[in-house]
Structure 1
């Protein structure tokens, strides 16, 4: 599942073994999306229109179309559910889709964004009920957490830490969408791209199954010290607001061109393992693709945090920190997060659902 407004940012990453579905009540938005597999939900309820920001309508629409959603999911191994929390369809339908996937036995991962602070002033009235963007987002996150194996929440406000004064509003929202894309692509690449060090799906499942809230880190560098820089960007997770410190489960992937060296792979690994819990279950993959010559990309998913941190993340996504850490100002340049490097070729792999 992916938001139609930003689906075009993720769809170009499509590969064999990966299926993309856009779910929406809005028929017009589906037509304008880049989705090869659109699913219109709640046709009887909304008559092809949007939800007007009402998550109750989004939930009811998904319930109405449960059979269509379940049919699309059939045969999946891993289901990604990505959405922007706070709106009608994302907040209302995402937990329903997650429940369908989880009950079917698929590894289910939620990757969602939490609204910018300035979005909290928006209010929508439906049937005499006042809806708050933040309240809708928090309620949706709590519902989603109960129906996924792993939940990654990306507070949009963290983008303010890496954006400069000249960043346009439109670019900020595009950047938020791109963060979702990188997170989803990073996890799927670990499984679908054949590499020098391959990661078995069972290993990924062992780390992410019933793991609760998780943290996502992405890093890209082409500098002289690219290995260390990419690893540090990913482990500091500025878009989450905390590091991977104390994680008991870590899945990470290193991707580089033919010029990547053994020592660079080792340096990335040293940075990651030095921060994780000493007893952490750490799974990593290493992929070489000539189209990444000059660059190193590191994607990290960290799980197994304390219950207190998970609770804080669900009640205050913007302020949640491991061990009371202060939010770290990121040195990640915007261009590194919005890199449009071509996606490496992939061989046929297990079916994924987004």
Structure 2
């Protein structure tokens, strides 16, 4: 049953903290989109870049360490700068029920300082969601390693982490798209992720959904994905849902295996119950049977015939591990004999044949590779155990004794004879 939101209920306080240059750019994009009911903060070591931010609250960190000139792409400096001013940072996020930490990973300030902000939020009992980008491949191995280290550290403290790889931007832009526009698309994905969640909490809706619902899905949830899809007219909600659950920009572009799913449908006054049901059913069918799924629906008169579907899927850690396990297929040999060059006489008749029909390889190799000498009276060794080894060697093959003479053997062959034999032959 649909019920109108109670407008008099307490409203959750949400803040967005953009850390470093990439985070500041993302905040500027969100401010331009007029996201409802959210406070914006930018944090940076670069005084010049911080000044260009549109955020009402700007925090310069590490002034004594960096002199306002940035972290020089060194995450260690970015981290220390945040630690030096952690009291200021704590004051900025105080009172929030939920914060979004957005940053471009791989550089100095965003990579090093964002985990410090997240750790402060955890200490203060604030629900923290990280929404970050990974660098382009062409930005180099060092930056990629920094990004992975920063993401690993950030993950320790945030409740939910959403990662957007910049390398996937080419999947949604046409060839020849200007670089500036490509980056704006990445920033817009960050904006959609944050707006999709904040709208669920802050905008009054037809289907009751509040901060407690969002928290139940996102608290200590680990890796997550968010998909946003848009549609228009008849069937628009279904198309929007389809696009939302197959977003190519997200690192994990599928909701399969998610433990928790939030769905928000936003449409105009004409959005019907049938449209909501079609969109929700598609998402339900794509999700795990055990997933905790919460649905919200919001009416925005300005959208007219447009429909936007936002899907947040959390708890994807198990699925990532399973995806890395190799699939092992049992090998069965070919029944036909295989011809191996140079070894036909030994092996080819046995390959693929039943054990009962195989010929002993040892016998074949021995008979062909080794020719047994004729047994004569001169070369039969004595079997008496007490006979001295030197006597056995001396008595064996008496007729070949002259061959051991140093004067007859080539020089290089002399040294192939053991010392004790050379001395004996020289006597």
Conserved? CA contact 2:26–2:102, under 8 Å: no
| Equivalent position of 2:52 in the other structure | 32
Once the two structures are superposed, the pairs formed by residues 176-195 of structure 1 within 5 Å of their partners are 176-195=186-205
Residue 92 of structure 2 is aligned to residue 72 of structure 1: yes
Task: Render the CA deviation track for 1:292-330: whole Å, top value 9, x for unaligned.
Answer: 112111111101224351x69xxxxxxxx6999xxxxxx
Shift of 1:223: 5.0
TM-score by length of 1: 0.82
Q: Mark the runs of 5 or more structure 2 residues left unpaired by the alignment.
A: 1-16, 327-427
Q: Relative to 1, partners in 2 of residues 1:224 and 1:157: Cα closer, same or farther, differing over 3 Å?
A: farther
Secondary structure of 2:279 counterpart: helix
Please name the residue that 1:120 is paired with.
Answer: 140
- State the structure with more CA Rg: 2
Q: Aligned residue for 2:288? A: 277
SS in 2 for 1:236: coil
Q: What do residues 63-108 of structure 1 show as CA deviations (whole Å, max 9, x unaligned)?
A: 0110000001111100100011111111011111001001111111
Structure 2 residue aligned with 1:293, among 304, 318, 331?
304
Q: SS at 2:140's partner residue?
A: helix
Q: 1:237, 1:244 within 8 Å by CA — same for their partners in 2?
A: no
Q: CA deviation at 1:227?
A: 1.2
Hey, what's the Cα distance between the residues in 2 that align with 1:271 and 1:230? 10
Match of 1:342 in 2: none
Q: Does 1:108 align with 2:128?
A: yes
Instruction: State the match for 1:258 in structure 2.
Output: 269
Corresponding residue for 2:245?
Answer: 235
- Residue deviations 1:28-52 (CA, integer Å, cap 9, x gap): 1111110100111111111111111
Structure 2 length as normaliser, TM-score?
0.69
Aligned length: 305
Structure 1 CA distance for aligned equivalents of residues 238 and 324 of structure 2: 22
Which structure exhibits the higher relative contact order, with contacts defined as CA atoms closer than 8 Å and separated by 6 or more residues? Answer: 1
Mapped to 2, the partners of 1:234 and 1:156 lie a distance apart of: 18
8 Å contact from structure 1 (residues 245, 322) kept in 2: no
- Residue aligned with 1:278, SS: coil
Following superposition of structure 1 onto structure 2, how do residues 147-158 of structure 1 map, counting pairs within 5 Å? 147-158=157-168
Alignment of 1:1-354 (within 5 A): 1-2=17-18, 3-14=23-34, 17-120=37-140, 132-222=142-232, 224-240=234-250, 241-307=252-318, 309=320
How far did residue 216 of structure 1 move? 1.1
**1:134 aligned counterpart, secondary structure:** helix
